[in-house]
Structure formats: structure tokens, C-alpha cells
Amino acid sequence: MTALEPRFSDYLAEINAALSDALTRFGAAKNRSCGSDAVLEAMRYAIENGGKRIRPILTLVFCELCGESAQTALPFACAAEMVHSYSLIHDDLPCMDDDDMRRGKPAVHIQFGEAMAVLAGDALLTLAFELLLGADAPPERRVTAGQILANASGFCGMIAGQAMDMQNEGEKADLETLEATDARKTGALIGAACDLGCIAAGASDAQRGAALAFARDLGLAFQIQDDILDVTADSATLGKPAGSDWAQDKSTYVSLLGLSDSRAQVQTLTARAKQSLAVFGQNSAFLCALADALCTRTN
Amino acid sequence: MTALEPRFSDYLAEINAALSDALTRFGAAKNRSCGSDAVLEAMRYAIENGGKRIRPILTLVFCELCGESAQTALPFACAAEMVHSYSLIHDDLPCMDDDDMRRGKPAVHIQFGEAMAVLAGDALLTLAFELLLGADAPPERRVTAGQILANASGFCGMIAGQAMDMQNEGEKADLETLEATDARKTGALIGAACDLGCIAAGASDAQRGAALAFARDLGLAFQIQDDILDVTADSATLGKPAGSDWAQDKSTYVSLLGLSDSRAQVQTLTARAKQSLAVFGQNSAFLCALADALCTRTN
């Protein structure tokens, strides 16, 4: 993502440091062993696995677009990433998607066993709320942020998406079902990440609306690009087996729309996402570049 | 628990109605299908399985002891019970304690499958925070309540306890290890439930301290009584196989202290728990009766 440097790397470094710090700080919070070194180790393995940190970066950028420093939104950003990380751990479990590899490394349940994977996921979800609620922000904003995160990741959001995704397997879902699934499975948390940045900055309703519109289009474009890469990239680039969705005989945007129309759709959605940012004026250049980078990415 | 009637039944009815209402309300929050009827069904099955509701009742009682109506603390009380319920679902999973039965009914993963059990647990944990943060209480109190709940149920609290408990299996834990495990596995959430009631009422530090001291002794007494019942009650009364801890060759208070000393310890702890309530004066009579009932219970 060279067009985004050095700003992208700065965000990334800030987020990685804050995530690592949160695990250390809360683990030692009571000046005594917290009793669960094994759980902490699995949490750290999951968190420090080299993710792209798209969600927390969106939180920081929207906070800045709405007039506050990125630092203000850092605990909210880390909370969003912890929720994302927990969802990957649980989704990879044998009883769920049964994925042994995650970003080129053994999944948490392969590395630490299934019980520890369930517990580490539970613990990251719980810590997300503890971290967010301990942010240096007015209590009203912390309450709103916690509600947004819970709603997006709960049984009408991300969890519903995962349930629907598993139900779709072998059922040859149509386009409407696929979009409804992805809006919950990945879209809801991406939207929440953008909204959390707005909330941290005390944004207006117009700003929050623009952020959510941006997130909706970007989230779908991101998902379609995922499906495109699943058939066009090789496994080494992806860090997971290429063609795995096809192998499972699952509906994808590519299987429903074809490769060419899928690519066109990514273009259209990305353009519309960028248009939503007009309310933020010239300041949105970085975010436009980020949207472009995400939708032309190769892994 | 006849000595406690009709007050106990009133609390129970209020909590059961509020729990059921929360699932309905949040499930329909957006005036459209939330997409996960299957997850909601599993959540409802887990929540409506006839639990004793000890934790949420403690929340309501402490709120009243600190000068506010029980109604004020109802969302906090339900949040504590949802966290308890989620932990039972995940603890019962095959990769964890592998229990097929819970309170005389098939465990969630037996009834709905493992994937749905993981998701329903995740969803109840998430909903607990959404419910708590949406309470009709000042934002500062909601933030504090959320932090208390997250801390007690996180990787230095309840989750640590579950990890330690699994580690203890086949290791013949000593008394100190057993107490440290239970302080986290069950004690932390019981303490949080009492504290949440205090927070809902804007209690003083002295009141919160008394509530936590009460919870600490009651929690341990409760756990020892559990171990006593495991060897003295029959399976039909317990709703789970009697003698299961002995069968697994696990250390218990009864195996370490003997049955007679275990019973004496329950008496001592219960007496001390009741003494902690002195700060609340005559108003604590119900809570003293509840402590007595819990520690002489037969299931």
C-alpha cells in the first residue's frame, strides 16, 4: 500500500503497540498472576498474527476526519480489532468452518487446542468491552461505543452472519441471501469500526451517516474482492488455500455474477464509497486511497 | 426456599420476564429479521432452562439494600445471568468439560449442535453488554458496571478459572489451588453480581466492600456445598450425574477436607458472609436467609 505511506505504517504501529500493551496491562492489572497464562498466550498469538488492521485503522481515520486526534479513538479501535480477532478464532474451529490455517500460520485451535481456542476467543471478546469502557472519553461516548460494538457483533450482526453463512453451505444461496449474509458477517463490524471513530470525536449525525454509507459499500466491495482473489490468487499469496470456497461448492459473488461483472461491481462500489466521503472535504484523500488499495489488493 | 417466599418468587418472576423480554426486544430491534432465528432459539433454550437465578437475585437485593428499587438494577442483573448462561454453554462443550446434560435437559450442543452452542454462547456474552449499557442509569454507572462485569468474566476472572479447572484435572490440585480456581471460576461473577447491584444504586465504597466480602465467603461456601452434593445427592435431584467429580478423579473440597470438615467449613463461611452484612442493618434479613438456604440446599 505504497501510496498510503508513511501514514498507513504509522497507524499500524500505533495499533499493534496498543493491542500488545492492552494484553500486558490487563493481564497484570491486579499485581498478581491472573491465573491464565495459557489463555493469555493464545490471545496474544491470535492478536499478533499480522492482520491488516483495516478495522482499527478505519476507526482512527474517521476520528481524525471528525476533528479529534487518532489517539482519542485508540481504545475503541483496539476493541474493534479484538472482536474481529475473536470471531476468526471461533470461525476456524472444527465445528464451524474447520480451517487449520490462518494467515499462513496454524489456527489457534491447532496451535493451542480447541478448549483454549474457545476460551481465548471468549476472553478477547470480553476484553474488547473492558478496554473500550476504560477509554479516556466522556462516559456517554463510551456507553454509545459499547452499544454500537455489541449490536454489530451480536446475534443480529456478525454472529447472525456466521450462522447464515454456515446455513448457506451446500444450499447455493442467491445474490440477495449472499449480500444479506455478508452485510452481517463482515459489513456490520466494518460499519461499527467507522462509527466508533465518529463517536470518539463526538461527530454529527451527518458525519456518522456518511461513515456508515462508506462502510456499507466498502464492506461489500471488500467481500467481492475476497471472492475474486479466492479464484485468481495462489495459496502462498493468500496465506490460506486458494479456491477453498469453490471446493466447498458454496455460492460466491464470482459464481453468481461471473469474474468480469464481479470486478465491475467492486469498481462501482468503491467509487460510491468514496463519494460518501464528500462531507469531509479534502481531508478524505487518505481514506479514498485506502479504499482503492483495499479493492485492488492481491491478498 | 420457603422461608424466603413470596419475595424470592417475585424476584425470580421479574428476572425471568426481563430475560425473555430482552431476547425478544433485541432480536426484533431493527424491525426486520435479524437473520439468526437459529441462534436466538439456542440462546432462549439456554436462558430459559430453569436456573436458580442466584446471581441476578443478588444484584437486585444489593440494589435495594443500597437504597434503590430492584427495578433499577434489572438490566444489570440480567446481564450477569446472561454471562453465567454463556459460560455454562461453552463449559459443557465436548472440547471443554464434555457434559451432555444440564439441569436435567440436553446441553445446548446436544440439542442444537456444537457450532450453534459456540455462537449462542458468544451471542449471550455480547448481549449482556448491550443490555447493561442500555440500562436506564447514569452513563458513569453503566460504564463502571460494564467494566466490573468484563473484569470478573474475563481472562483474569471466570475464563482463567475455567482454564485452571481444566488444568487441575488429573493433577490432584491442593486446597490453595482449588480455592484460587474457584475464586475465579465462580467467585468472580458472584462478586460482580453483588457489586452491580451496589453500582446501580450509587452505593458507597463501604457498602461495595461489604457486598464483595459477603460474595467471597458465600461463593466459596456455595462451591463446597456443590462438592458435598456431588457425593451425597442422587442424580435425579441434581439434574446431572452424581459423583461425576469423583469419577473424573478430580480434587474436590470433600476429597481434600473430608465430608465432615467440608460441612463445617460451609457453616463457618456462611456465618461470616452474614456478618459482612451488618453495615446494611435489619434490611439484610432476606439476604441472610438466602445465604442459609443456599448453603443447606439439596440440589
Q: Is the pLDDT of residue A164 over 60?
A: yes
Query: Diameter of chain B by CA atoms?
Result: 58
Among A30, A122, A166, select the one facing B159 at the smallest CB separation. Answer: A122
The complex scores an ipTM of 0.95
CB contact under 8 A, A159 and B95: no
> Domain range spanning residue B201?
2-295
Buried b / exposed e over A35-64, threshold 16 CB at 10 Å, is bbebbbebbbbbbebebebbbbbbbbbbbb
Mean pLDDT of chain A: 92
Q: Are B155 and A181 an interchain contact pair (Cβ–Cβ within 8 Å)? A: no
Answer yes or no: do B166 and A115 touch at CB < 8 A: yes
For residue A196, what pLDDT band results from cuts at 50, 70 and 90?
A: very high
Q: Is the pLDDT of residue B244 over 70?
A: no
Axis-axis angle for helices A188-200, A158-168 (nearest 10) = 170
pLDDT at B31: 42
Number of domains comprising chain A: 1
Least reliable range by pLDDT among A78-82, A110-114, B173-177, B230-234: B230-234
Per-residue pLDDT band for A222 (boundaries 50, 70, 90) equals very high
CA distance A2 to chain B (A): 37
Average pLDDT score over residue span B59-77: 97
Task: Name the pLDDT band for B234 (thresholds 50, 70, 90).
Answer: confident
- For residue A135, what is the DSSP state? S
Q: Which of residues 181-240 of A touch B (CB under 8 A)?
A: 181, 184
- Asked if A246 contacts A231 with a C-beta cutoff of 8 angstroms, the reply is yes
- At A35 the pLDDT is 67
Domain at A110, CATH number: 1.10.600.10
Q: What is the share, in percent, of chain A residues with pLDDT greater than 90?
A: 82
Q: Given an 8 Å threshold on Cβ–Cβ distance, is B35 in contact with A130?
A: no
Residue B36 has pLDDT above 50, yes or no: yes
Point out the residue among B36, B95, B134 whose CB comes nearest to the CB of A159.
B36
Residue B139 touches chain A, beta carbons under 8 Å? yes
- Mutation for testing the B interface, residue in A24, A83, A129 having most B CBs under 10 Å: A129
